[in-house]
């Protein structure tokens, strides 16, 4: 095994995962998630929204994943658009954290960013781990969007109750990294 390849013996050996990171304060947890998925053998490709880059750097995720981080349609090289190439090769599309905006985009078939384009282009299973203020999470529009996604086969890794970045206590905190990894492992077995 070289430094640039994931473990070839873990439970996710041979699996390619696109890890979408959207603009939530919980984006910093994508670093631990990337590390844990790589330890399990996955080849992780991080895709960030512009907002996510305000919370965690592409350098961090690129270093941990050992793959270039995608964040824009306009930085692509080669003849095939990067979002189509990645959408075609992934075994799983995981978005953690998924903001209300991302949930709404996916439920309504919108692709205003790279994450939305990959979601629409991939045939791989999709897991979303929402993270947002509890009032936002419980809003009827967000719940309806989540139900729409569930009806289309998207698996939701429910947020947990805890102290939120806004100072409130309640539902909306990103599920723990180990729980997200467990769901990925269960899904891939």
Residues forming the active site? 166
Rg (CA), the chain: 15
Distance of CA 54 to the CA centre of its chain: 16
Q: Which residues of 24-35 are buried (b: 16+ CB within 10 A; e: fewer)?
A: bbbbebbbebbe
CB 126 within 8 A of CB 118: no
Among residues 73, 79, 69, 66, the alpha carbon closest in space to that of 19 is found at 69
* CA 36 to each of CA 16, 105, 161: distance values in angstroms, whole numbers, following the listed order: 14, 28, 23
DSSP string for residues in 45-89: EEEE-TTGGGTS-HHHHHHHHTSPPB--GGG--SSS-HHHHHHHH
- Measured CA to CA, the distance from residue 181 to residue 173 in angstroms comes to 16
């Amino acid at each position: 095994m070289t430094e640039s390849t994931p473990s070839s013996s873990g439970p996710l050996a041979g699996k390619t995962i696109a890890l979408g990171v959207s603009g939530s304060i919980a984006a910093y947890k994508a670093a631990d998630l990337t590390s844990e998925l790589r330890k399990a053998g996955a080849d992780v490709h991080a895709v960030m929204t512009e907002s996510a880059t305000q919370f965690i750097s592409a350098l961090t995720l690129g270093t941990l994943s050992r793959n270039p981080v995608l964040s824009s349609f306009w930085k692509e090289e080669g003849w095939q658009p990067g979002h189509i190439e990645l959408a075609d090769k992934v075994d799983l599309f995981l978005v953690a954290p998924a903001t209300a905006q991302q949930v709404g985009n996916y439920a309504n078939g919108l692709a205003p960013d790279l994450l939305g384009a990959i979601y629409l282009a991939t045939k791989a299973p999709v897991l979303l781990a929402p993270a947002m203020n509890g009032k936002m999470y419980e809003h009827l529009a967000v719940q309806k969007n989540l139900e729409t996604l569930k009806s289309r086969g998207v698996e939701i890794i429910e947020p947990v109750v805890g102290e939120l970045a806004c100072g409130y206590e309640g539902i909306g905190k990103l599920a723990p990294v180990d729980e997200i990894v467990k769901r990925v492992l269960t899904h891939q077995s």
